Structure 1
Amino acid sequence: MSGQPAAVHLLGRLGLVAARVRRLVADRRRDDPDPDDAFRGLYVSAADAERLAAPPAGTAGTAGPAGTAGTAGTAEPDLADAQALAVLEAAADRAATDGADLRLRRLAHDFGLTGLDLEFLLVALLPDVEARYERLYGYLNDDVSRRRATIGLALELCGIPASAITGRSRFAGSGPLVGGGLLLVEQPDQPYLSRSLRVPDRVAAHLLGDDTVDARLAEVAWPAEDGAAVQGDASARDELAGRLGSALRAGVRLGYLRERPGAAAADLAVAALVRAGRSVLRLDLDTLAADPAPGDLLAATVREARLRGAGLVAGPVQALDPAAQPTHARLLRRVADQPVPVLLTGTVEWDPHWSRQAPLLVTAAPLDEQGRARLWRTAGGARTADRPAGWTDGVDSARELAPYLLGPDQVRRAAQAADQLALFAGADRVDADHLRAGVRGQNAAGLARLARRIEPAVGWADLVLVDPILDQLRELALRVRYRDRVLGRWRMRPGGGRGRGVLALFAGDSGTGKTMSAEVIATDLGLDLYVVDLSTVVDKYVGQTEKNLERIFTEAADVNGLLLFDEADAIFGKRSEVKDAHDRYANLESAYLLQRMESFDGVAVLTTNLRANLDEAFTRRLDLIVDFAMPDVAQRRALWDRCLGTELPRDEDLDLDFCARSFELTGGSIRACVVTAAYLAAGAGRPVRMSDLVGAVQREYRKLGRLLLESEFGEHRPRGEPARVH
């Protein structure tokens, strides 16, 4: 290291300080009546006390402060020092012209140090670089246990009178040395001139060429580099990052990047700082706020950023609660009010009270389908890349990732998870199932506490519906898959603060396949299905229902899933004329839902048995309304066969055509009948017979409260059951 220009410059400057130390030691010994006292520094003899009490030379016996001008100049830099310093700085100028990074000079510039500040810093640093000066400092302090420079010794070595305010003020907490964290003034209980000076280990290591981040910051701050994908397509990303970088170079010191779902505000901030010519330090506000001493941790982080010439990317802002917690408000203001560029990121609106200065406000758009695909191909392992042209067993990452709202970090983690799943399965490539499992693994767990999570297990082949309904369901899946292109790239979403969500209503009698259709769509898109439990939503207390729904929508923003509101008319009912306070608050609830559904960015399906009960304002905001009708004879025949499956043993007397013609049942009721018949057959230890099916239908009729007509059962009337009409 000694041959590097930065080290040569630093060690040369320290050498000048060392020369002054040696001269001061020689001067002290010359004036010391007993320089060879073995107990020097351990006690004060009577002779020493008398000598110390004598008035300073040149004052004619008048008492005055020790170290005034004319008495403390023995170590002041002389002509030789000035000449040596000039030679050192000239060599440093040549090295800087050749592009060398002179850390001592950069430190002085970035922290605003004066020449005197730099001398004080070097005096305090010397014993950390050369151990022998510890003992010399102990001698000069007249205390062998105090091996660091004191304020008084630093002033004396630099030729500054102990009472001069120009020197003493450089050790103030608001000064660049102490305030910047470059110098620690310890032992505050000691007299001012006897307080020890220490250069923090991180600062000393930096000056000696070590760029390892302070160990205290391991959990809260870390260096970052420009990612491959920041947001949107490459041209839009580069254009926005370039404009933000230009603003930072022009002097902008505070920015707030609000990210939409699936966006990458942090990556955009990193790219902008890199384009501004700075390195980057990421700061986790959540971890910072949880620390017992967040102020000290923030100061160490800012010092690290200044040592590196870096800007701070701090977020997420929503991890703090400035409105409710004053400590969070103060911490956020401190973060915003730093002498380095600070780019805050978050999903919430900016509040002007969060900082003393107005930030540059930027909105970070989400990754589009092509951006996600590009990042996917580079984020995982060898199994994650798409197949070359001509291969048929690869995965089309652009198509498969289209339904998801994923930020860059989520894409990277999902790609790594998919690659590991493929490795575990022994596959040489990631397929669509691995990709979907990797994406589902990035879903936050919060929504699972508010809604019932169902991992879809049925597909299009399991649906028995007429073609027009199937076409509508496929259109719904199509809207989810290509919403980024249509609503984002082609800008087909109208204004008014509308989100990019896809909303549909499934209306029809119970058992006609509404919930199953939602599950099939979730399967097709690779989404989890979350069924909202109305018992956790509806509350008798005014305003609580809206709060519960807001929690659901907030958690759903962090989940790539399909949100299913079963029996939606319970909360999406019609508004009524206001006759009392109950009507007023019920209408407020509906108005809130109208606004919240319109700004929703996810995928939601509402099901109802009574479409007429829904408010017309809701239906206007829906993308699709699918009416599920009762199955006809052909569909019922297919449903009976599909529900019986291939594993359940069947007796030869089964007459599914008769069941389809005679019993007007929905798909849900047919499945219930088949399950009941299967239990009857299992109890009897034989295959399912026609009598089991007929008996199950009879039980289902009773459960539904329907009439038992002899004409329906005909020759298959249950044995021992008289025909009757209820």
Structure 2
Amino acid sequence: MTGTGHAAGADPSLRHLLARALLVEQRVRRAVDARRREDPAPDDAFRGLYLNEEHVRRLLDHGRPALPAPDAAGAAGQAEAEAAATTAAGPTRLHGLAAAFALTALDVEILLIALLPDLDDRFERFYGYLNDDVTRRRPSIGLALGLCGLSPADAAARARLDAGAPLRSGGLLLVEDQERPFLGRALRVPDRVTAHLLGEDTPDHRIADLLTAGEESPAFGADGAPGAPLDPSLADALARSLNGGLRLAYLREEQGGAAAPLAAAALARAGRPALRADLERLARDPRPAEAVGVLAREARLTGAGLVAGPVDALAREHRDQLRALADAALPSLPVLLVGHVPWDAGWSLWPPLVLHAPPLRPAARAGLWRLAYDGPPAEGLDLGRLLSPFVLTPGQVSRAARSAAQEAVLAGGRLTEEQVRAGARAQNAAGLDRLARRIEPAVGWADLVLPPDSLAQLGELTARARHRDRVLGEWGMRPGGGRGRGVTALFAGDSGTGKTMSAEVIAGDLGLDLYTVDLATVVDKYIGETEKNLERIFTEAAGINGVLLFDEADAIFGKRSEVKDAHDRYANVESAYLLQRMETFDGLAILATNLRANLDDAFTRRLDLVVDFPLPDAAHRRTLWRRCLGAALPQAPDLDLDFCAESFELAGGNIRSAAVTAAYLAAEAGRPVTMADLIHGVQREYQKLGRLTLAAEFGPYLDLLA
């Protein structure tokens, strides 16, 4: 067949598609020819509003064929087209589309009829002629059925174009002009379906913003790939289920889990690509139902499995879209959903396979970090230890490594521990900043002045935070009870004894930020609002790697009392709620209080550590005076720090305030700090504390009082 020469070099799928389209073209030509012979008014004065006979003849005899046209031997051309259409070498895109969407032979014919105007613009005019309306350039339902040799009254044929039939429910065919009678409605093939049949694999622009790159999929490695940081056994088991016909799975993950890359790796092992969708972006889409349909169509077109998460984003306000995603699962379209919340049976008519996706272990984080790091080798750094306090997903680990590499290039030197930690902290969500005050640690262990036992307990708390994955996860030292992997501690002591500073030191040692929450501002007089405020804090805290410090903890953790009225009952409810929520928290939480005796015994039992912060003795006060005055502050030789330490029983915070007051006095006078400045600073602290300035305390410096 000479007319197919321009398609001879095409790939088999395109050659097959054009050959099938040519067969449809022969039917269209015969229909046009029959219409010409039956036209009763070829000289109609209004013929300019539609195609006249001469125009049709030119279309038939001299058109620009985009499809292979029959040569002079029409019968031979027809035979060659039929041969090409039926003897395609191997499966083609049209074959694959028919299988993926469960299309019948009639469905394929109707699809090809609707597709022709997108392959050859002559068919817009052909269809306009056959519709007897040049403005209607798409085939109508009645015309399509007629071209297939079917009666418009054939109920079975009409049913193939119902809204629930594969062509329409799968998004392969659009039926327009809904205001017209059924047979007069126009048929159109979406551009993405046409592009797919012609060999284009770019995803539909409608969902481009919803798709993610899936950069963390290499976490499980290719089959046999050396050095893959994650155990592929779970991915292999899930792949076997997919090959066995699994349609729907829900992978529930903990914070820092690897559920999405696990799903992608399982699909790869089952011989399918993964189409990754971000459901948080879908929840913000103005037309989420339409987007879900396009996602499902895209996955079926490409033979992919759909990996979508987190379902938490849709579970409350967009349950219909979540059901649509789950119910889109078919043998030709496995759907793997990812989330943190328990599966709700109402989300799908089809029961899913529910799996637990464990979080990354510290060694796995280090392995992923090395794979993603594109800078000079990170020599001499214990990445496992540096990353152990951070709960990160594979994607966050990869981004943290690239961020650290950029920091190293900017600094012009080798990679440092702080750059590794800064890259990990950069993955924190910003939501908690609106509910708590963030502090970047600027002090270390050398800045703490505390008794040896208190320092030892702080060191133990840091070790718990660093090794909790191993102790609680790998070794299973906290079984049952539904408790999380969090670490909780209570800092008890008078104001100014170093509780907040100690939390800052711990955060700095772990490489984390410190977030301080004043529980006194969380308590609300309206019933239920306190719990809502606390839940918002814990929810946002789950998305960050930081130390959470609750100040004034006794505002809520007070002892539960006998219920005498409604106020007592709801106060007890608040305490019970926070006790339960603290147990399930997976982060590092520190509660500070000045009134340890007021705390409920049930709360203290649930704590990992209780650290007491006593008032400093004379030796510690002497050290505090030296530390607070510092080396940069000019100091007169008459300073008697031994007297200050022995005579003034002040907490560390008060000593710092007195030193700052003295520094301001010296700056105003333009001279070094003198003993008179220190005495004045102490006097101001006594006034704030409501203490009397006794002559016995100030001794020989009494005359320096203002």
Task: Please indicate, yes or no, whether the TM-score normalized by the shorter chain is above 0.5.
Answer: yes
Match of residue 414, structure 1, among 383, 395, 400: 400
**Alignment correspondent of 2:11:** 4
- 1:341 aligned partner: 334
Q: Tell me which residue corresponds to 1:87.
A: 83
Residue 551 of structure 1 aligns to a residue whose secondary structure is helix
Q: Secondary structure at the match of 1:256?
A: strand
Q: Are the aligned partners of 1:225 and 1:280 in contact in 2 as well (CA < 8 Å)?
A: no
Q: Shift in Å at residue 307 of structure 1?
A: 0.5
Corresponding residue of 1:440: 425
Q: Where do 1:1-150 residues align within 5 Å?
A: 2-32=9-39, 40=47, 42=49, 84=80, 87-88=83-84, 91-92=87-88, 95-96=89-90, 101-150=91-140
Deviations 1:494-527 (A, max 9, x none): 2100111111112222222111111111111111
2:503 maps to 1:509: no
Aligned counterpart, 1:596: 581
1:376 maps to which of 350, 369, 380: 369
Q: CA deviation at 1:38?
A: 9.3
Give the AA of the match of 2:307.
Answer: V
- What is the CA–CA distance in structure 1 between the aligned matches of 2:392 and 2:51, rounded to whole Å? 73
Q: CA deviation at 1:457?
A: 0.9
C-alpha distance in 2, partners of 1:246/1:39?
Answer: 67
Q: Residue 283 of structure 1 is aligned with which of 265, 268, 277?
A: 277
CA contact (8 A) 1:264 1:367 kept: yes
Q: Matched residues in 1 for 2:48 and 2:173: separation?
A: 26
SS at match of 1:299: helix
Instruction: Return the letter of the residue paired with 2:644.
Output: C
Q: Which residue is 1:273 aligned to?
A: 267
Is residue 308 of structure 2 the alignment partner of residue 314 of structure 1?
yes
- Aligned to 1:229, the other structure's residue is in SS state helix
Provide the residue aligned with 1:358 in structure 2: 351
**Paired letter, 2:156:** T
> Is 1:544 aligned to residue 529 of structure 2?
yes
Checking the alignment, whether the CA contact within 8 Å between 2:214 and 2:261 is kept in structure 1 is no
Residue deviations 1:467-507 (CA, integer Å, cap 9, x gap): 33222211111111111111111211221001111111122
Secondary structure of 1:219 counterpart: helix
Equivalent residue, structure 1, for 2:551: 566
Corresponding residue number in structure 2 for 1:400 = 386
8 Å CA contact retained: 1:41, 1:144: no
- Contact 2:50–2:134 at 8 Å: present in 1 too? no
**1: CA distance, partners of 2:159 / 2:690:** 92
Residue 31 of structure 1 deviates from its aligned partner by 4.4
**Quick check: 436-445 or 449-458, which moved more?**
436-445
Counterparts in 2 of 1:44 and 1:413: CA distance versus 1, 3 Å: closer
Q: How far 1:234 sits from its partner (Å)?
A: 5.9
Q: 1:613 to 1:11 in 2, by over 3 A?
A: same
What's the TM-score once normalised by structure 2's chain length?
Answer: 0.89
Distance 1:172 1:234 in 2: 49
SS at structure 1 position matched to 2:483: coil
Aligned residues of 2:404 and 2:423 also touching (Cα < 8 A): yes
Alpha-carbon distance in 1 for matches of 2:355, 2:262: 10
1:608-664 CA distance string (max 9 Å, x none): 223222222222211112222222332222111111011110001112222222222
CA shift at 1:227, angstroms?
Answer: 0.9
Deviating beyond 4 angstroms after TM superposition, the runs of 4 or more aligned structure 1 residues are 30-41, 78-86, 222-226, 233-237
- In 2, the alpha carbon distance for the partners of 1:632 and 1:246 equals 67
- State yes or no: 1:524 paired with 2:509: yes
In structure 2, the partner of 1:171 is 161
Alpha-carbon distance in 2 for matches of 1:375, 1:5: 41
For 1:53, the equivalent position in structure 2 comes to none
Alignment-derived partner of residue 63 in structure 2? none
Corresponding residue number in structure 2 for 1:699: 684
Partner in structure 1 of residue 67 of structure 2: none
Question: Which residue of 1 is the match for residue 467 of structure 2?
Answer: 482
The aligned amino acid for 2:482 is G
Residue 60 of structure 1 corresponds to which residue in structure 2?
none
Percent of residue pairs bearing the same amino acid type: 62
Deviation at 1:381, TM superposition (A): 2.8
Q: What residue identity is the alignment partner of 2:83?
A: V
Which residue number corresponds to residue 424 of structure 1? 410
The residue identity in structure 2 corresponding to 1:547 is: K
Aligned to 1:367: 360
Q: 1:224 to 1:690 in 2, by over 3 A?
A: closer
Aligned equivalent of 1:75: none
Corresponding position of 1:48:
none
CA positional deviation for 1:82: 8.9
- Hey, what's the Cα distance between the residues in 1 that align with 2:453 and 2:200? 69
| Whole-angstrom CA distance in 1 between matches of 2:625 and 2:505 | 19
Native 8 Å contact 1:226 1:274 kept in 2: no
Q: Could you say which residue in structure 2 is the equivalent of 1:386?
A: 378
Q: Is the 8 A contact 2:547 2:590 kept in 1?
A: yes
Structure 1's 412 and 278: CA in aligned 2 closer, same or farther, altered over 3 A?
same
Aligned 8 A contact 1:225 1:270 in 2: no
**Change in 2 beyond 3 A, CA 1:700/1:350:** same
User: Contact (CA 8 Å) 1:40, 1:142: kept in 2 or not?
Assistant: no
Counterpart amino acid of residue 5 in structure 1: P
Residues 693 and 82 of structure 1: CA distance in aligned 2, closer, same or farther (over 3 Å): same
**8 Å contact from structure 1 (residues 694, 718) kept in 2:** no
Query: Compared with structure 1, are the counterparts of its residues 79 and 224 closer, same or farther at alpha carbon in structure 2 (3 Å cutoff)?
Result: farther
Aligned residue identity for 1:159:
G
How far residue 277 of structure 1 moved from its aligned partner, in angstroms, is 2.2
The equivalent residue for 2:246 is 252
- The residue aligned with 2:224 is none
Partner-residue secondary structure (3-state), 2:592: strand
Amino acid at match of 1:658: F
Equivalent of 2:699 in 707, 714, 718? 714
Q: Structure 1 residues 705, 230: closer, same or farther in 2, change over 3 A? A: farther
Deviation at 1:210, TM superposition (A): 0.2
- Amino acid paired to 1:264: A
SS of 2:704's equivalent in the other structure is coil
Please tell me whether the aligned partners of residues 221 and 301 of structure 1 are also in contact (alpha carbons under 8 angstroms).
Answer: no
SS at match of 1:503: strand
Match of 2:650 in 1: 665
Q: What letter matches 2:396 in structure 1?
A: Q
Structure 1 residues 620 and 159 mapped into 2: Cα distance closer, same or farther (>3 Å)?
Answer: same
Separation (CA, whole Å) in 1 of partners of 2:649 and 2:494: 13
Return closer, same or farther for 1:277/1:709 CA change in 2, 3 Å cut-off: same
Shift in Å at residue 235 of structure 1?
A: 8.0
Distance 1:574 1:234 in 2: 51
Equivalent pair of 2:51/2:134 in contact (CA under 8 Å): no
For the Cα contact (< 8 Å) 2:312–2:340, is it kept in 1? Answer: yes
Question: Corresponding residue for 1:648?
Answer: 633
In 2, are the aligned partners of 1:639 and 1:667 still within 8 Å (CA)? yes
> Contact 1:226–1:271 at 8 Å: present in 2 too?
no
Q: What is the aligned partner in structure 2 of residue 181 from structure 1?
A: 171
Aligned-partner SS, 2:392: coil
| 1:228 counterpart SS class | helix
**Inter-partner Cα distance in structure 2 for 1:371 and 1:44:** 70
Gap runs ≥5 in structure 2: 1-6, 53-73, 222-226
Q: CA deviation at 1:33?
A: 6.1
Supply the AA of the counterpart residue of 1:266.
A
Work out the CA distance in 1 between the residues paired with 2:75 and 2:595.
98
Quote the residue 2:4 is aligned against: none
Deviates more, 1:130-139 or 1:396-405: 130-139
CA contact under 8 A between 1:230 and 1:367: conserved in structure 2? no
CA–CA distance in structure 1, aligned partners of residues 311 and 564 of structure 2: 43
Question: Per the alignment, in what secondary structure is the counterpart of residue 681 of structure 1?
Answer: helix
Displacement of 1:203: 0.7
Q: State the alpha-carbon separation in 2 of the partners of residues 720 and 183 from structure 1.
A: 92
Please tell me the residue identity of whatever aligns with 2:375: A
1:631 equivalenced with 2:616 (yes/no): yes
SS at match of 2:354: strand
